[in-house]
Structure 1
Amino acid sequence: MKCEINPAVYILASRKNGTLYTDVTSDLVKRLYEHRNGLIDGFTSDYGVKRLVWFEAHGEMDSAILREKRIKKWNRQWKIKLIEAGNPDWDDLALGLGFTALPSLRGD
């Protein structure tokens, strides 16, 4: 089953109230696969940031990029409010896109 959400802004977390990462992509499922399998070097692999806690689909890449830039400027508390408005338990939304559960971590 292939689920396409193009383009999208997304927030990953290492765990509930853990390290956050915001980005934009033209292929959310592909990008999640890369993050979850350590195929992207850098921040997310260094800090174990793999849990999809929020995403927003856009019709145009320009609007997704603008939204991502705005969110990146937000303080941490605003990002937490955004996540918890739609996902109060910080569930891994990637499960709804066909991914398997990540190993449970302390603090989840």
Structure 2
Amino acid sequence: MRDICCYILWSDSLERFYTGACQFALEERIEKLNTGFYRGQNFTKKARDWRLYLKVEAVDYSHAVRIERKIKSMKSSVYIRNLKKYPELVEELKDKCKITHL
């Protein structure tokens, strides 16, 4: 199943958000993160209790990555909480991250 989106995860143990982009099964990705499937030294290995906080649907994978980068550039948990609280902010974010061809 394809699940093209930008996602925000929350870890209770770290009390932190993690933002990423996905183009396949999101639930499977979260499960893999929580079981330590991915090797290497990455931020998500610090916790095993990641859960989905917010999912932002994208047109395609490059759109999802642009949304991810915009969220990360804000460097703000308040911004992330506001995205969940105010759905219109999500729509505005999605529109800003679209590429329009003239």
TM over 0.5: yes
1:7-55: CA deviation from partner (whole Å, max 9, x where unpaired): 110001112x921100001111331221122212421121345111101
3-state secondary structure, aligned to 2:31: helix
Give distance in 2, aligned partners of 1:57 and 1:29.
Answer: 14
Count the aligned residue pairs.
Answer: 83
3-state secondary structure, aligned to 2:37: coil
Q: Unpaired segments of 5 or more residues in structure 2?
A: 88-102
- Percent identical pairs in the alignment equals 22
Provide the residue aligned with 1:77 in structure 2. 78
Structural RMSD (CA): 2.4
Provide the residue aligned with 1:30 in structure 2. 28
3-state secondary structure, aligned to 1:59: coil
Runs of 4+ that moved beyond 6 A: none
Q: Report the TM-score when normalising by structure 2.
A: 0.67
Provide the residue aligned with 2:68 in structure 1. 68
Question: Which structure shows the higher helix fraction?
Answer: 2
Q: Report the TM-score when normalising by structure 1.
A: 0.64
Matched, 1:19 2:16: yes
Q: Unpaired segments of 5 or more residues in structure 1?
A: 87-108
Q: Given that residues 10 and 23 in structure 1 are in contact (C-alpha distance below 8 angstroms), is that contact kept between their aligned partners in structure 2?
A: yes
1:78-107: CA deviation from partner (whole Å, max 9, x where unpaired): 112113446xxxxxxxxxxxxxxxxxxxxx
